[in-house]
Amino acid sequence: MNKGSNTIDEKIMPFRPKGHQAVPRTEYDLIRWHGHAALITVLVSALFGILVATKFNFPNFMGGHAWETWGRLRYNHTQGIFFGWLGNAFIAFCYYVTPRLTNSTVNSRRLGWGLFWIWNFMVVLPGWVLVCMGFSQPLEWAEFPMIVDVFVILAFLLMLVQFVKPFLKVPAGDLYVSGWYIVGGLVFTTLAYPIGNLVPELVAGAKGAAFSGLWIHDAVGLFVTPLAVAMTYYVIPAVTKRPIYSHFISMLGFWLLFFIYPLNGTHHYVYSAIPMSAQRGAIIASAYLGLDVILVVTNLLLSLRGSSGKVGSNVALRFIWFGVVAYLVVSLQGSMQAFMPINRFIHFSDWVIGHSHLAMIGFASFTAAGALAHIWSNMPGAKYNERAMGWSFWLLSIGLGLMVIDLTAAGLVEGQMWVSRAPWIDSVRAIYPYWFTRILAGLPIIAGFALFWIGLLTGPRNPKSATSDSMALNKNTAARLEDEVQHPHGEPHAAPSILSYAFVIAFVAGFGFFVLSFVVLGILPAMQLQAEINRTAPHAMQPLSASEEHGRQIYGREGCAYCHTEQVRTITSDVQRFGAPTAAWETQYDYPQLWGTRRIGPDLSRENGLHTDDWQYAHLYNPRSTVPDSIMPGYSWMFTGSAGEPNSDALDLVAYVRSLGRQRALAGETGNQQVDHGTAMEMSSSYGSEGVPDTRPRIAAMGLDDSAPIFSSAQSPDSNRLAHGLDVYQHNCSGCHGTNADGQGSAAAALRPRAIDLHLEHFSDAHLATVLWDGVSGSAMPPWRQLEKNDLNDVASYVQSLESPATNVTMQPAEFAAAQTIYTANCVSCHGANGRGDGPAAGALQPSPVNFRVRQPSQQRAWTVLNEGVSGSSMPAWKNTLAPDQIKLLIPYVQQMYGNDKELLHP
Partner 1 sequence: MINIIVAIVTLIVAAFLLLWIFRPSFRKWVEQPKYTMLENDQRFRHADNRREP
Does the N-terminal peptide bond of residue 145 adopt cis geometry, omega within 30 degrees of 0? no
Q: How far apart are CA 889 and CA 887, in angstroms?
A: 5
The one among 57, 103, 859, 900 contacting partner 1 by CB under 8 A = 103
275 in contact with partner 1 (CB under 8 A) = no
User: Is position 603 an interface residue for partner 1 (rule: CB under 8 A)?
Assistant: no
Q: Candidates 195-203, 252-260, 870-878, 888-896: pick the segment binding partner 1 (CB under 8 A).
A: 252-260
Using rule CB under 8 A, residue 877 touches partner 1: no
H or E segment at 887?
helix 884-895
Which ranges in 141-261 belong to alpha helices (H)? Answer: 146-159, 165-167, 177-202, 205-218, 225-240, 247-260
Contact with partner 1 (CB under 8 A) among 380, 678, 843, 907 = 380
Of residues 249 and 795, the one with the C-beta less far from partner 1: 249
Q: DSSP for 256-303?
A: HHHHHGGGGGGGGGTTSSS-HHHHHHHHHHHHHHHHHHHHHHHHHHHT
21 binds partner 1 (CB under 8 A): yes
Q: Is the torsion defined by CA of 129, 83, 315, 289 positive or negative?
A: positive
By CB under 8 A, is residue 425 in contact with partner 1?
A: no
DSSP 8-state assignment for residue 121: I
- Compute the least distance from the CB of residue 471 to partner 1, in Å: 7
Nearest approach, Cβ of residue 248 and partner 1 (Å): 5
> Which residue lies nearer to partner 1 by CB, 99 or 671?
99
Handedness of CA 429, 430, 432, 435 (dihedral sign): negative
- Count of residues for the chain? 907
Out of 129, 157, 202, 466, point to the residue binding partner 1 (CB under 8 A).
466
Q: Is 167 in the site for partner 1 (CB under 8 A)?
A: no
Cβ at position 421, least distance to partner 1 in Å: 37
Q: Say what the alpha-carbon torsion angle 631, 632, 636, 637 is, to the nearest 10 degrees.
A: 130
Q: Nearest distance from residue 237's CB to partner 1, in Å?
A: 6
* Share in percent of the chain as helix, strand, coil (round to 5): 65, 0, 35
Nearer to partner 1, 67 or 288 (CB): 288
Query: Closer CB to partner 1, residue 63 or residue 512?
Result: 512
Residue 783: cis peptide before it, omega within 30 degrees of 0: no
Sequence-ordered list of residues with C-beta below 8 angstroms from that of 773, at least 6 positions apart, any chain: 705, 707, 708, 709, 783, 784, 785, 792
Q: Tell me how far apart the alpha carbons of residues 134 and 128 are, in angstroms, rounded to a whole number.
A: 10
**Shortest distance (Å) from residue 505 CB to partner 1:** 12
Q: Which is nearer to partner 1, 33 or 259 (CB)?
A: 259
Instruction: Pick the binder of partner 1 from 123, 177, 594, 748 (CB under 8 A).
Output: 177
Q: How far is the CB of 774 from partner 1 (least distance, A)?
A: 47
Sign of the dihedral through C-alpha 765, 770, 772, 776: negative
Q: Tell me how far, at minimum, the Cβ of 523 lies from partner 1, in Å.
A: 11
Stretch that binds partner 1, among 122-130, 246-254, 448-456, 753-761 (CB under 8 A): 246-254
Smallest gap from Cβ 480 to partner 1, in A, equals 6
Distance (Å, whole) CA 589 – CA 580: 19
How many helices, marked H, and strands, marked E, lie in the chain?
A: 38, 4
CB of 6 to partner 1, least distance (A): 18
Asked if residue 308 binds partner 1 (CB under 8 A), the reply is no
Size of the site for partner 1 (CB under 8 A): 67
Segment interacting with partner 1, rule: CB under 8 A, options 279-287, 321-329, 673-681, 802-810: 279-287
Whether the CB-CB separation of 73 and 134 falls below 8 Å is answered with: no
Query: Who contacts 499 (Cβ-Cβ below 8 Å, separation ≥6)?
Result: 172, 505
Choice from 159, 175, 439, 575 touching partner 1 (CB under 8 A)? 175
Instruction: Report the alpha-carbon distance of residue 742 to residue 770 in Å, rounded.
Output: 21
Among 63, 114, 134, 243, binds partner 1 (CB under 8 A): 243
Q: How far is the CB of 163 from partner 1 (least distance, A)?
A: 16
637, 607 in Cβ contact below 8 A?
A: no
- Asked if 804 contacts 820 with a C-beta cutoff of 8 angstroms, the reply is no
* Site membership for partner 1, residue 173 (CB under 8 A): yes
Question: Taking the complex as a whole, how short is the minimal distance between the CB of residue 301 and partner 1, in angstroms?
Answer: 16
Closest approach, Cβ 299 to partner 1, in A, equals: 11
Q: Footprint of partner 1 on residues 482-521 (CB under 8 A)?
A: 484-485, 487, 493-496, 516, 520
Query: With CB under 8 A as the contact rule, which of the stretches 52-60, 86-94, 254-262, 315-323 interacts with partner 1?
Result: 254-262
* Residue 610 vs residues 607, 658, 697, 757, 775: alpha-carbon distances, Å: 5, 8, 7, 23, 10
Q: Binding residues for partner 1, per CB under 8 A? A: 15, 17, 20-23, 26, 99-101, 103, 173-178, 234, 237-238, 241-244, 246-248, 251-252, 255-256, 259-260, 263, 277, 280-281, 284-285, 288, 378-382, 461-466, 470-471, 473, 477, 480-481, 484-485, 487, 493-496, 516, 520, 524
